[in-house]
Amino acid sequence: MARMLTLVLTLILAAGACSPLDLSDVPTDHQVGQAARAGVSGDGPALGLLTADWQVEADLTDVSTEFQVDGGTLLAFATDGVTGFDATTGKKAWHYREPGRTTTWSKVTGGAVLLRTKGEAGDRLVALDSGTGRLLWERDPEPNTAYVVARGVLVQEVYRLSEHKNEFTAFDARTGDELWNGVPSLGAGCQAHLPWAGLSGDGSLVVMAEECSGRTERLHGLDPAGGDPLWSLDTPSPFDVHGTISVVAGSVVISPSSRSVIVLGRDGVRQVPAAGCDRCRPVVAGDQVAWRDKHDARQPRVTVVNVRTGAVKVVKSSAPSWDLISDGRRLYGRLQWLAGGAEGTPRHWATVIDPITGSSRALPVHNGPDHEFLHWAGTAGGRLITTERHHEQPARFRLTAYRSIPAAEPLEYGGVDPRDWPDCAELLAAVPGKRRPGSPDTKARSDDSLLREAMWVPFTCRADIAGIGRVRVTVLWVTKRPQEADALLDGKPETPPDADEIAEDVIRVGRVIVQVEGSDEAERAVVKRLRSMESP
């Protein structure tokens, strides 16, 4: 049964200013899946060697880069609906489309996928089971409506133009049943509204802002299930409620500007003594909330705040972390180009951050070069699930789930110490021919790797050889297993003979990827030497 808030100013009036949509008039393409896989945790991978657990190529017409993991399902949102994949296998589980219509809003909460769509027939609000795609409920939404979700609850804000006020109703996201309606007690002449822009976090609160004479005077934290007011706090001045908001452990973190971050909670207001957010999307791990600092690119860092104690940690990284997500315990960021970005080297690293200890490690992701940048979709069952759009086929995506297996240090190099890599001088020495006078073999450190700041960096060796010309040999990357090296290079098993694959002047022999700039004879000599160095 729906209940009114104990502190309500105005009754919620029945709506219906326009004719309702006949839901049977909306054509759908709907395939329901089998019972969802139970018991799938939301955990991501631990520290170790990231290896592909599964990988699928999927044709997803009109899909943006909006993906999300809910329980054991990977959700791919399109302009006209959503597709669900089994997050433990990558197999397509279900889909729901409304051909010819457009999705204008989508959220996932409490195992329900909520979609608002529009078309010539009018607007429609539907709820689907995230595991199977089964239709849970549908209704004709009211005009001038905004929504937020919190722990299985859908909160609706309707602006009544004729009365110049907002009305609020909360529904169970899975059943569509009304749970509560109304607003907390407000000051004279004040209005309540949902500061929904940029909302993220653990859903532990519904946040309402009280606006008086054009200024946000206070925030109210409400229990999502019953609507009971938990706390009300005056806001500091100046204050911009339209900044990024993240709800965590019953507190609210707000970045009202690029210069400061404010934490509001039951114990009052706390100003975090740290740089403001950069592309601020705070993520939550337990009682910790974290965000990328607005920083000097040469000193990237992530700020982690315990909202209960106010303790602040600054976690330094070797490069900016994008796509910061959380599995509830760890944080996962995406780094790029740590090894310089050359073909045959990893283009992406997963930064694994422990918000309790403040440690940060970068694990290489061995993925192919024929797709665009990776995006983190989420975590499930010890996996980090990533998505990539194909360079030349925008409707084609590669979906991959990475697990971790135990690996030796250094983890940033996939468990293979670069000091144990083949020596470029030894490979260059295998190229026959007399060195030209005045041009002995030279060896120099590569300077295009961000890893050089804290770790060993590969060398490049050069020589000018009579009858062959200039030769340059660089050992680009060495993996623990051949399959990781194979994933990095999109080459062909052609010239030189006995190479596993070659892409222009980049060659793979087993676990080793080298670049040989020079003649075919030089390439053959280097490949032969690498084969002789392989373990029996």
pLDDT tens string 486-496: 988 877 776 66
Same domain, 157 and 236: yes
Average pLDDT of span 98-122 = 93
For residue 26, tell me if it sits in a domain.
Answer: no
Same domain, 383 and 471: no
How would you write 88-107 as a 3-class SS string?
CCCCEEEEEECCCCEEEEEE
Q: Is the pLDDT of residue 320 over 80?
A: no
Average pLDDT of span 385-400 = 84
Average pLDDT of span 362-376 = 80
Q: Is the pLDDT of residue 227 over 80?
A: yes
Q: Measured between alpha carbons, how far is 534 from 514 in angstroms, rounded to an integer?
A: 14
Instruction: Give the lowest-confidence range in 105-119, 155-169, 209-223, 445-459.
Output: 445-459
For residue 24, tell me if it sits in a domain.
Answer: no
Give pLDDT tens digits for 410-436: 898 899 988 889 999 999 999 998 888
Q: Which of 375, 395, 413 is the last residue of a domain?
A: 413
Q: Is the pLDDT of residue 281 over 80?
A: no
Q: Is the pLDDT of residue 272 over 70?
A: no
- The tokens for 274 are 């740290």
Q: Is the pLDDT of residue 127 over 50?
A: yes
Same domain, 325 and 394: yes
Domain CATH for 196:
2.130.10.10
Say if residue 308 is exposed, middle or buried (CB neighbours under 10 Å; 0-12, 13-18, 19+): middle
Q: Measured between alpha carbons, how far is 504 from 216 in angstroms, rounded to an integer?
A: 61
The most confident of 143-157, 168-182, 407-421, by mean pLDDT = 168-182
Which tops the pLDDT comparison, 181 or 492?
181
Same domain, 305 and 434: no
pLDDT at residue 262, as a whole number = 76
pTM to 2 decimal places: 0.86
Q: Which of 363, 383, 413 is the last residue of a domain?
A: 413
Q: Measured between alpha carbons, how far is 2 from 105 in angstroms, rounded to an integer?
A: 25
How many percent of the chain have pLDDT more than 70? Answer: 80
Give pLDDT tens digits for 24-35: 678 899 999 987
Same domain, 70 and 179: yes
pLDDT at residue 395, as a whole number = 77
Q: Is the pLDDT of residue 193 over 70?
A: yes
pLDDT at residue 347, as a whole number = 84
Using DSSP's 3-state secondary structure scheme, residue 530 falls into helix
Identify the band that residue 12 occupies on the pLDDT scale cut at 50, 70 and 90: very low
- The tokens for 298 are 């040469």
For residue 102, tell me if it sits in a domain.
Answer: yes
In which domain, by residue range, is 76 found? 3-10+42-413
**Backbone phi and psi for residue 301, each to the nearest 5 degrees, phi listed first:** -160, 160
For residue 16, tell me if it sits in a domain.
Answer: no
Same domain, 377 and 476: no
pLDDT at residue 14, as a whole number = 31
Say if residue 58 is exposed, middle or buried (CB neighbours under 10 Å; 0-12, 13-18, 19+): middle
Same domain, 375 and 395: yes
Number of domains in the chain: 2
Same domain, 432 and 355: no
How are beta strands 153-160 and 165-172 bridged, if at all? Answer: antiparallel
Average pLDDT of span 143-157 = 91
Q: Is the pLDDT of residue 135 over 90?
A: yes
For residue 349, tell me if it sits in a domain.
Answer: yes
For residue 23, tell me if it sits in a domain.
Answer: no
Same domain, 433 and 351: no
How many percent of the chain have pLDDT more than 90? Answer: 41
Identify the band that residue 275 occupies on the pLDDT scale cut at 50, 70 and 90: low
Q: Is the pLDDT of residue 317 over 60?
A: yes
- The tokens for 46 are 């631990």
Which tops the pLDDT comparison, 103 or 294?
103
Q: Is the pLDDT of residue 21 over 70?
A: no
pLDDT at residue 300, as a whole number = 73
For residue 240, tell me if it sits in a domain.
Answer: yes
pLDDT at residue 171, as a whole number = 97
Same domain, 67 and 140: yes
Q: Measured between alpha carbons, how far is 402 from 54 in angstroms, rounded to an integer?
A: 7
Identify the band that residue 124 occupies on the pLDDT scale cut at 50, 70 and 90: very high
Q: Measured between alpha carbons, how far is 483 from 216 in angstroms, rounded to an integer?
A: 57
Q: Is the pLDDT of residue 7 over 60?
A: no
Q: Which of 365, 391, 413 is the last residue of a domain?
A: 413
pLDDT at residue 454, as a whole number = 44
Q: Is the pLDDT of residue 15 over 50?
A: no
For residue 494, tell me if it sits in a domain.
Answer: yes
Q: Is the pLDDT of residue 232 over 90?
A: no
Residue the block writes with tokens 């030089």: 522
Same domain, 409 and 429: no
Same domain, 376 and 469: no
Which tops the pLDDT comparison, 316 or 51?
51
